[in-house]
Structure 1
Amino acid sequence: MSTPDNTRIAVIIGSVRKGRFGPVIANWFTDRVREYGGVDIDLIDLAEHPLPTSLTEPDETTAASAAALAERLGAADGFVLITPEYNHSYPASVKAAIDWTGVPWQAKPVAFVGYGGHGGGARAVEHLRCVFAEVHAVTVREALMLRFPWTLFDEQGQLVRPDAVEANTKDLLDQLTWWAAALREAKATRPYAA
């Protein structure tokens, strides 16, 4: 149930590749957020928002998609980005989403759920911290790093060993909701000027 006091969090699936694992993680994570309580979730799948790339100019479709994405991001108090690690960094779809929307990220917190091989997405997350600083977002300290996630979930999308990440999930949500409330209150008193 939504209330005006609930924190509005956009959970973003960063990968747009065919056969991606992000939706499995996103479904599991949003269930954890619902259990946490006091949060309204907007699950955003970047695969549903075709955006221009650095090599293309926006056309009518991609410009409208970027505007729709920016509107959804603008309605959020904070974000959780579920990102894979591709070639020791984050996917181009995530960079396009940041570059083509910009302003809705300002003075809002961003938390990360990284996934991948041995590093569990850590390099992608660390690269993104620098990018989000440039658009005036605040990244939270706690992050989830899921190593070889395809071995961590069963066929129903349930985490096989939930105790391994439950404490980190709570810490991530505690930090994210604290920053979301603090920044929302601060902006109500004194608008943020980037």
Structure 2
Amino acid sequence: MTDSSLQVAIIIGSVRGGRFGPTAAHWMAARAVAHTGLAVDVIDLLDHQLPLAMPAQGQPLPEDIAAVHAALGKRLTAAEAFIVVTPEYNHTPPAALKNFIDWFVGEWAAKPVAFVSYGGMSGGLRAVEHLRQTFSALQTVPVRESLSFRYPWDTFDGAEPVDADAAESAAKTMLDRLVWWAEALQAARALRPFEA
């Protein structure tokens, strides 16, 4: 049984109009909460936009951007694990998601990340392959198991997948592995703090 205080941040990676991301994220959040009581924090990038232009190192951020950055940094630091919900745009993740990831460094380190992707024929898996490389560079541990929805506009009936049994099974497998890594890395960081 996992510790009910284990917090998972679920990140909605698309800011495009008409996006499917919130549907997938909230469905996944419900699975995570039901999974032995995980605490969930859903971060919607549409609500917390960071600019593409980053200041030079050591240069202070404008006050409004600094406030957004600090608030998001606290939420990422509090998380013991991450689930990134992403579509695939031109075989890669959305620019807004990559930009968000790049604004932070130590917050990601020595924690696991899992992926829920969606899209056309590939179900967003090519975007996930890019994200695995990005997160590995940030010392984050990508979980091998993932959840992928092909043509979600056809395979979801409102807020629920049509093939609910298969989706639930895949979600449970992914969450089991994410929790294992979260608990193992939490214990490791307590024993010896990780320096990013």
Relative to the length of structure 2, the TM-score reads 0.92
Which 10-residue stretch deviates more, 39-48 or 164-173? 164-173
How many Å apart are 1:141 and its aligned residue?
A: 0.5
Q: CA deviation at 1:5?
A: 4.7
- Aligned equivalents of 1:140, 1:47: Cα separation in 2: 25
Question: The residue matched to 2:100 in structure 1 has which SS?
Answer: helix
- Give CA-to-partner distance per residue, 1:64-107, whole Å, 9 cap, x none: 21221111000000000000101100011111111111110000
* Alignment equivalent of 2:149, drawn from 137, 146, 150: 146
Q: Which residue matches 2:107?
A: 104
Deviates more, 1:180-189 or 1:146-155: 146-155
Q: Which runs of 4+ in 1 moved over 3 A?
A: 55-59
Secondary structure at the residue paired with 2:156? coil
1:82 alignment counterpart: 85
Aligned partner of 1:51 in structure 2 is: 50
Deviation at 1:60, TM superposition (A): 2.9
Q: Which moved more, 1:65-74 or 1:55-64?
A: 55-64
CA distance in 1, matches of 2:126, 2:63: 34
Letter in 1 for 2:45: L
User: Shift of residue 56 of structure 1?
Assistant: 5.7
2:178 alignment partner AA: L
CA–CA distance in 2 between the matches of 1:65 and 1:95? 17
Deviations 1:91-129 (A, max 9, x none): 111111111111100000000001111000100000000
User: How much is the aligned-residue C-alpha RMSD, in angstroms?
Assistant: 1.6
The residue aligned with 2:178 is: 176
Equivalent AA in structure 2 for residue 21 of structure 1: F
8 A Cα contact 1:51 1:63, kept in partner? no
1:40 corresponds to which residue? 39
Aligned residues: 190
- The letter of the residue matching 2:48 is H
Q: Within 1, Cα distance between the matches of 2:32 and 2:24?
A: 12
Deviation at 1:63, TM superposition (A): 2.7
Unaligned runs of 5+ in 1: none
For 1:64 and 1:181, how far apart are their aligned partners in 2? Answer: 30
Find the aligned partners of 1:149 and 1:177 in 2 and give their Cα distance: 26
The one of 160, 163, 176 aligned to 1:161: 163
Judge conservation of contact 1:88–1:124 (CA < 8 Å) in 2.
yes
**Percent identity (aligned):** 51
SS in 2 for 1:42: strand
- Unpaired runs of 5+ residues, structure 2, are 56-60
Question: Conserved in 2, the CA contact under 8 Å of 1:13 and 1:82?
Answer: yes
Give the partner amino acid of 1:126. Answer: E
Are 2:116 and 1:117 aligned? no
The answer on 1:71 being equivalent to 2:84 is no
Aligned to 1:126: 129
